[in-house]
């Protein structure tokens, strides 16, 4: 018997157009146009919803969790409100 674990990460689907974006970066630019920066690559997004939103992309959940733990403990910058979340980004082909 094979045990299959489902990924508990919420999928972020809200964006401002009808397109199917090819990359997580273009999706996040559409979904969060106020983001001051979007860095990295991958389908897991660490979003800091603090004074001004920012997004860091990761290829897997592990590094995103590690980064979230770090900013949860030390803050993400001036004006940090502690509103940090990890989501999956829907890409073409899902």
Beta strand 38-40 pairing with 54-58 = parallel
pTM of the shown model: 0.84
Residue 57's CB: how many other CB atoms inside 10 A?
Answer: 21
Looking at the predicted structure, is the pLDDT value of residue 12 above 80?
no
Per-residue model confidence (pLDDT) at position 54: 94
Per-residue model confidence (pLDDT) at position 13: 75
Q: What DSSP assignment string belongs to 33-57?
A: TT-S-EEE-SSEEEEE-SSS-EEEE
């Amino acid at each position: 018997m094979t045990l299959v674990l489902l990924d508990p990460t919420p999928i972020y689907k809200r964006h401002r157009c009808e397109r199917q974006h090819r990359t997580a970066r273009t999706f996040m630019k559409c979904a969060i146009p106020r983001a001051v920066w979007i860095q990295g690559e991958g389908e897991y997004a660490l979003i800091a919803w603090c004074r001004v939103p920012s997004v860091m992309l990761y290829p897997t959940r592990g590094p995103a969790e590690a980064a979230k733990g770090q900013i949860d403990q030390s803050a993400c910058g001036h004006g940090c409100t502690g509103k940090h979340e990890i989501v999956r980004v829907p890409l073409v082909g899902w």
